[in-house]
A = this chain, B = another copy of it.
Amino acid sequence: MSQKDHPQAHDHEHNHSHADAKDKFLERLKEQGFKLTGKRQMIVDTLLEEDRYISAKELLERMQKVFPRLSFDTVYRNLHLLKVEGIIEESTFGDGGSKYRITCDTNQHHHHYICTVCGKTELVEGCPMDLLGITAPRGFQIESHRFEIFGQCGECH
């Protein structure tokens, strides 16, 4: 690789809670023997800064400004790892496959308002599984659920 990695940080690390969250995430990876490469860190950085759903393609394009030779497979491999580790969330809406966002700090169960234009999210208060009188059909074993409210955020319409 001719390009240089930047293990410490890149420019926009101006936000304390971001830095804290990043450290927490990277710590988790480190403990399991995964390596803290510049690209892996930049994915976490970017998702923390953007704080919205981003496609693999958009992520790639943003990161290529810093790592010109970065390729889709690296992005996807890292996204997969980060998803398995619970560091990011995946959703599919609109066109063009999956989109990803950083998991909320708290890591608590939650649902989102999602802007279908820019991918920005807001937390929904409460969870339908608690507030709806959910009684599963006889024999049905509930494993998970999905609740998302789509629309356009104030800046996008």
State the A residues within 8 Å of B (CB): 92, 113, 115-116, 122, 124-126, 128-129, 131-155, 157
10 A/B residue pairs, CB under 8 Å, sorted by A: A113-B137, A122-B137, A124-B134, A125-B133, A126-B132, A128-B131, A139-B155, A144-B151, A145-B149, A146-B146
Known: A92-B92, A128-B128. A143 touches B152 (CB 8 A): yes
Q: Is the CB of A136 within 8 A of B149?
A: yes
Stoichiometry, copies per complex: 2
Q: Is the CB of A122 within 8 A of B140?
A: yes
Residue from B132, B139, B150, B154 in contact with A143 in the complex, judged by beta carbons closer than 8 Å:
B150
Q: Is the CB of A151 within 8 A of B142?
A: yes
